[in-house]
Amino acid sequence: MTDPFAQFDAWMAEAVAGEPNDPNAMSLATCAADGRPSVRMVLLKGVDGPGAAARGFLFFTNVESRKGDELAANPYAALLFHWKSLRRQVRIEGAVLPVSTAEADAYYATRARGSRIGAWASIQSRPLPDRAELERRVAEFEAAHPGPDVPRPPCWSGYRLVPDTFEFWRDMPFRLHDRTVFARAGGGWESGKLYP
Protein backbone atom coordinates (compact mmCIF):
# COMPACT_ATOMS: atom_id res chain seq x y z
CA MET A 1 0.00 0.00 0.00
CA THR A 2 1.38 3.45 -0.90
CA ASP A 3 -0.99 5.61 1.18
CA PRO A 4 -0.45 5.46 4.97
CA PHE A 5 -3.93 6.86 5.60
CA ALA A 6 -5.46 3.96 3.65
CA GLN A 7 -3.29 1.51 5.60
CA PHE A 8 -4.38 3.12 8.86
CA ASP A 9 -8.06 2.98 7.85
CA ALA A 10 -7.74 -0.75 7.05
CA TRP A 11 -6.05 -1.51 10.37
CA MET A 12 -8.53 0.63 12.32
CA ALA A 13 -11.44 -1.22 10.70
CA GLU A 14 -9.93 -4.51 11.88
CA ALA A 15 -9.40 -3.04 15.36
CA VAL A 16 -13.02 -1.85 15.53
CA ALA A 17 -14.14 -5.37 14.58
CA GLY A 18 -11.76 -7.22 16.90
CA GLU A 19 -10.36 -5.08 19.72
CA PRO A 20 -12.47 -5.63 22.85
CA ASN A 21 -12.29 -2.10 24.29
CA ASP A 22 -11.74 1.40 22.87
CA PRO A 23 -10.05 0.63 19.54
CA ASN A 24 -9.77 4.40 19.06
CA ALA A 25 -7.67 4.84 22.23
CA MET A 26 -4.27 6.33 21.51
CA SER A 27 -1.29 7.50 23.52
CA LEU A 28 -0.59 11.18 22.94
CA ALA A 29 2.97 12.31 23.68
CA THR A 30 3.76 15.99 23.99
CA CYS A 31 6.76 18.00 25.20
CA ALA A 32 6.96 21.16 27.25
CA ALA A 33 9.07 24.08 26.07
CA ASP A 34 11.97 22.77 28.21
CA GLY A 35 11.85 19.39 26.41
CA ARG A 36 10.29 17.45 29.27
CA PRO A 37 7.93 14.84 27.73
CA SER A 38 4.57 13.61 28.96
CA VAL A 39 2.16 11.02 27.61
CA ARG A 40 -1.46 10.12 28.25
CA MET A 41 -4.31 8.19 26.65
CA VAL A 42 -6.90 10.11 24.63
CA LEU A 43 -9.53 9.04 22.12
CA LEU A 44 -9.28 9.52 18.37
CA LYS A 45 -12.43 11.33 17.24
CA GLY A 46 -11.88 11.41 13.50
CA VAL A 47 -9.47 11.13 10.59
CA ASP A 48 -9.79 13.63 7.77
CA GLY A 49 -10.62 12.11 4.41
CA PRO A 50 -8.78 12.52 1.11
CA GLY A 51 -8.87 16.04 -0.24
CA ALA A 52 -8.96 17.73 3.19
CA ALA A 53 -6.82 20.87 3.35
CA ALA A 54 -4.86 19.59 6.36
CA ARG A 55 -5.49 15.87 6.59
CA GLY A 56 -4.94 14.56 10.10
CA PHE A 57 -6.06 12.86 13.30
CA LEU A 58 -8.57 14.67 15.52
CA PHE A 59 -8.81 14.72 19.31
CA PHE A 60 -10.55 17.07 21.75
CA THR A 61 -9.68 18.31 25.22
CA ASN A 62 -9.45 21.21 27.62
CA VAL A 63 -6.91 23.51 25.96
CA GLU A 64 -5.86 24.80 29.40
CA SER A 65 -4.83 21.28 30.49
CA ARG A 66 -1.20 20.18 30.69
CA LYS A 67 -1.38 18.80 27.15
CA GLY A 68 -2.91 22.05 25.93
CA ASP A 69 -0.15 24.09 27.60
CA GLU A 70 2.50 21.84 26.09
CA LEU A 71 0.99 22.02 22.60
CA ALA A 72 0.88 25.81 22.87
CA ALA A 73 4.61 25.84 23.70
CA ASN A 74 5.64 23.09 21.27
CA PRO A 75 3.03 22.27 18.58
CA TYR A 76 4.36 18.82 17.68
CA ALA A 77 3.25 15.48 19.07
CA ALA A 78 3.33 11.72 18.62
CA LEU A 79 0.46 9.23 18.69
CA LEU A 80 0.59 5.51 19.38
CA PHE A 81 -2.23 3.06 18.69
CA HIS A 82 -1.60 -0.34 20.31
CA TRP A 83 -4.05 -3.10 19.45
CA LYS A 84 -2.82 -5.89 21.70
CA SER A 85 -5.35 -8.48 20.54
CA LEU A 86 -4.31 -7.88 16.91
CA ARG A 87 -0.59 -7.76 17.79
CA ARG A 88 -0.20 -4.48 15.92
CA GLN A 89 0.67 -0.89 16.62
CA VAL A 90 0.85 2.34 14.65
CA ARG A 91 3.11 5.28 15.51
CA ILE A 92 2.33 8.70 14.01
CA GLU A 93 4.28 11.94 14.41
CA GLY A 94 3.66 15.46 13.16
CA ALA A 95 2.62 19.04 13.71
CA VAL A 96 -0.50 19.81 15.73
CA LEU A 97 -2.97 22.50 14.69
CA PRO A 98 -6.07 23.74 16.53
CA VAL A 99 -9.38 22.76 14.97
CA SER A 100 -11.80 25.48 13.85
CA THR A 101 -14.51 26.80 16.14
CA ALA A 102 -17.11 25.14 13.91
CA GLU A 103 -15.37 21.74 14.21
CA ALA A 104 -15.13 22.07 18.01
CA ASP A 105 -18.80 23.08 18.26
CA ALA A 106 -19.92 20.22 15.99
CA TYR A 107 -18.08 17.55 17.94
CA TYR A 108 -19.03 19.02 21.34
CA ALA A 109 -22.71 18.84 20.36
CA THR A 110 -22.41 15.05 19.89
CA ARG A 111 -21.18 14.47 23.45
CA ALA A 112 -23.45 13.15 26.18
CA ARG A 113 -24.93 15.89 28.38
CA GLY A 114 -22.95 14.66 31.39
CA SER A 115 -19.70 14.93 29.41
CA ARG A 116 -20.61 18.48 28.36
CA ILE A 117 -21.29 19.43 32.00
CA GLY A 118 -18.00 17.75 32.94
CA ALA A 119 -16.14 19.96 30.48
CA TRP A 120 -17.36 22.98 32.45
CA ALA A 121 -16.80 21.42 35.89
CA SER A 122 -13.29 20.05 35.44
CA ILE A 123 -10.37 22.48 35.67
CA GLN A 124 -8.32 19.78 33.94
CA SER A 125 -4.81 19.03 35.21
CA ARG A 126 -5.14 21.45 38.15
CA PRO A 127 -4.95 20.25 41.79
CA LEU A 128 -8.27 18.93 43.15
CA PRO A 129 -8.67 19.23 46.95
CA ASP A 130 -11.11 16.29 47.11
CA ARG A 131 -13.78 14.51 45.09
CA ALA A 132 -16.51 16.48 46.85
CA GLU A 133 -15.20 19.68 45.24
CA LEU A 134 -15.56 18.17 41.75
CA GLU A 135 -19.08 16.96 42.59
CA ARG A 136 -19.95 20.45 43.89
CA ARG A 137 -18.76 21.99 40.60
CA VAL A 138 -20.76 19.44 38.58
CA ALA A 139 -23.90 20.37 40.57
CA GLU A 140 -23.16 24.09 40.05
CA PHE A 141 -22.94 23.71 36.27
CA GLU A 142 -25.95 21.37 36.16
CA ALA A 143 -27.93 24.19 37.81
CA ALA A 144 -26.46 26.80 35.46
CA HIS A 145 -27.43 24.74 32.36
CA PRO A 146 -30.70 22.98 33.27
CA GLY A 147 -31.94 22.20 29.75
CA PRO A 148 -30.55 19.91 27.06
CA ASP A 149 -28.40 22.69 25.56
CA VAL A 150 -25.02 22.98 27.25
CA PRO A 151 -22.80 25.44 25.37
CA ARG A 152 -19.15 24.63 24.71
CA PRO A 153 -16.84 26.20 27.31
CA PRO A 154 -14.21 28.57 25.87
CA CYS A 155 -11.41 26.37 27.27
CA TRP A 156 -12.64 23.24 25.44
CA SER A 157 -11.66 22.59 21.83
CA GLY A 158 -9.72 20.18 19.69
CA TYR A 159 -6.55 19.53 17.75
CA ARG A 160 -5.54 17.95 14.47
CA LEU A 161 -2.22 16.11 14.27
CA VAL A 162 -1.01 16.39 10.67
CA PRO A 163 1.38 13.47 10.14
CA ASP A 164 4.81 13.69 8.60
CA THR A 165 5.71 10.10 9.57
CA PHE A 166 3.89 6.82 10.16
CA GLU A 167 5.21 3.47 11.35
CA PHE A 168 3.12 0.30 11.05
CA TRP A 169 4.37 -2.48 13.33
CA ARG A 170 3.27 -6.14 13.22
CA ASP A 171 4.31 -8.76 15.74
CA MET A 172 6.25 -11.61 14.15
CA PRO A 173 7.84 -14.81 15.53
CA PHE A 174 11.15 -14.58 17.38
CA ARG A 175 10.74 -10.80 17.77
CA LEU A 176 11.57 -10.35 14.08
CA HIS A 177 8.76 -7.84 13.81
CA ASP A 178 7.62 -6.24 10.56
CA ARG A 179 8.06 -2.44 10.55
CA THR A 180 6.90 -0.32 7.61
CA VAL A 181 7.54 3.43 7.68
CA PHE A 182 6.11 6.26 5.61
CA ALA A 183 7.68 9.73 5.46
CA ARG A 184 6.12 12.73 3.80
CA ALA A 185 7.96 13.61 0.57
CA GLY A 186 6.67 16.60 -1.36
CA GLY A 187 3.02 15.96 -2.13
CA GLY A 188 3.21 12.22 -1.44
CA TRP A 189 4.85 9.59 0.74
CA GLU A 190 8.02 7.52 0.62
CA SER A 191 7.92 4.13 2.31
CA GLY A 192 10.47 1.61 3.49
CA LYS A 193 11.22 -1.02 6.10
CA LEU A 194 13.08 -0.85 9.42
CA TYR A 195 15.00 -3.58 11.18
CA PRO A 196 13.00 -4.93 14.13
| Cα–Cα separations (whole angstroms), residue 80 to 27, 57, 130, 138, 155 | 5, 12, 32, 32, 25
Report the pLDDT value the prediction gives residue 38, as an integer from 0 to 100: 97
pTM: 0.93
Q: What domains does the chain contain, in order, with CATH numbers?
A: 4-110+157-194 (2.30.110.10)
CA 57 to CA 162: how far, in whole Å? 7
CB–CB of 56/126 below 8 Å?
A: no
What is each CA distance from 170 to 56, 88, 178, 182, in whole angstroms?
22, 5, 5, 15
Q: Which ranges of the chain have pLDDT less than 70? A: none
Return d(Cα 128, Cα 140) in angstroms, integer: 16
pLDDT at 49: 82
Tell me what pLDDT residue 92 has: 98
For residue 151, what pLDDT is reported?
A: 96
| C-alpha to C-alpha distance for 182 and 192, rounded to whole angstroms | 7
CA distances from 160 to 48, 164, 195 (A): 9, 13, 30
The pLDDT value recorded for residue 6 is 95
User: What is the predicted pLDDT for the residue at 20?
Assistant: 87
